[in-house]
Amino acid sequence: MATKTVTVPKTTKEGFNPFKMAQQQFDRIADKLGLDQPTRELLREPLREYHFQIPIRMDDGTMKIFHGFRVQHNDARGPCKGGIRFHPQETIDTVKALAMWMTWKCSVADIPLGGGKGGVICDPHNLSEKEQERICRGWVRQIARDIGPFQDVPAPDVMTSGQHMIWIMDEFQTISHGAFQPGVITGKPVALGGSRGRTEATGYGLVYILREVLKELKMDTTKTTASVQGFGNVARYAAELYTQYGGKVVSVSCWDQNDACSYGFYKKNGVNLEELLKITDRFGTIDKDKAQKLGYQITPGDDWLTHDVDILIPAALEHSITAENVGKISPKVKIMICGANGPVTPEAEDVLDKRGVIVIPDFLANSGGVVCSYFEQVQNNQNYYWTKEEVLGKLDNKMTDAFYHVWDLAQRKKVRISDAAYMIAISRVAEACKMRGWV
């Protein structure tokens, strides 16, 4: 019988290590807060880290071994929470960084959850639906004893969807002798316990915060322009709500699977989201030829940084704005609000800070997704479900409240927004650990 093994990559992006960057960010704030050594040691590493092999029979009859991960960074404030990513270049360091960022994200949003993350090294572009289902079921079989509604609650992430979550929920239910536990997973379809408004939550939550930033800077939204990196779920809904508020998006970008690179789609008078969605495939790739016929200028993928706009919204990949390319950003830019996880390196943020650009960090700006996942858990536990309007209204209140806690601290302490957000998030988690007697 033929057997294939997926090689585990050691690094991402030419040696870039996202977990080292996450630790660097933490260490900087730990110094500001004067955290004691035991608390630093506890919080700069995950509490638990799982690696496992997932043997899968492929459609052609061969066996293939996939490598899976789950990291639980900290659960002092509540069960771990975090997505499952399917990506051919997934690494444990990426998963560890994302789990740590999720801890801070739940904390700054003040929801009773901790940080977790999972992943499988695979490329869904090259897998059938049945093969993806087997991977999901194989993943949960390896980790079922260590997840659950009151332990660790996964969710969709890069290249996973509500359908993947249903397969995981169903397999978990089989393992737990048929007990119906929809709260084991979030990001589910509404028909099986998902929350209305979850699809829009991350992008909308980002724009709720952007709206308040513009108010504080006394900028009229209807007179602002934005450039967006990405055209996935976060980017689309952020662009949608921002344009509903009267702003103009002049550029979006997407990854092209066929060319293995990204492209930008620029239109000075503003992009039309509906027409672009009509020429976008299920993986988020926009048809370049059709876009050109619609009047879009096709640009290299990193050109989204260079446009003369007021607002930049990185909403695709980590490590997108670095010391090497931050100089390309237009002097007109006033705000960078991060929809992706870890898109701005500390070195790049230092440059932006000196230029007077306000950077709203990822774990605050994109926390709408996990806030709505928390709402989904609450609804699952109550077995009572809210309307979309109720969900988005509660989300708006939660995001606005989180922003002003951060904004007010930044003004009082004369620190940048990201530092204030980290100070609040890390302080809350450290306090929970001390109250439990862990440190």
Q: What would the two tokens of residue 399 be?
A: 């995001």
The 3-class SS string of 90-125 reads CCHHHHHHHHHHHHHHHHHCCCCCEEEEEEEECCHH
Burial class (CB in 10 A: 0-12, 13-18, 19+), 15: exposed
C-beta of residue 424 within 8 angstroms of C-beta of residue 107: yes
H or E element: which one contains 49? strand 48-57
Cα distance between residue 152 and residue 347, in whole Å: 33
**Does residue 188 carry a catalytic annotation?**
no
Angle, CA 345 vertex, CA 339 and CA 348 arms, to 5°: 105
Cα gap 429→103, rounded to integer Å: 8
Catalytic residue (choose from 64, 117, 188, 398): 117
| Euclidean distance between CA atoms 99 and 92, whole angstroms | 10
**Which residue carries 């393992």 as its tokens?**
175
The residue assigned the tokens 């998902």 is 194
- Distance, in Å, from the CA atom of 169 to the CA atom of 182, rounded to the nearest integer, reads 7
- Helices 388-413 and 368-382: crossing angle, nearest 10°? 130
- What is the torsional sign of CA 286, 288, 292, 298? positive
What is the Cα–Cα distance from 65 to 121, expressed in whole angstroms?
10
DSSP-H helix ranges across 248-387: 273-277, 288-293, 346-354, 362-365, 368-382
Token duo for residue 161: 């969807």
Catalytic residues: 117
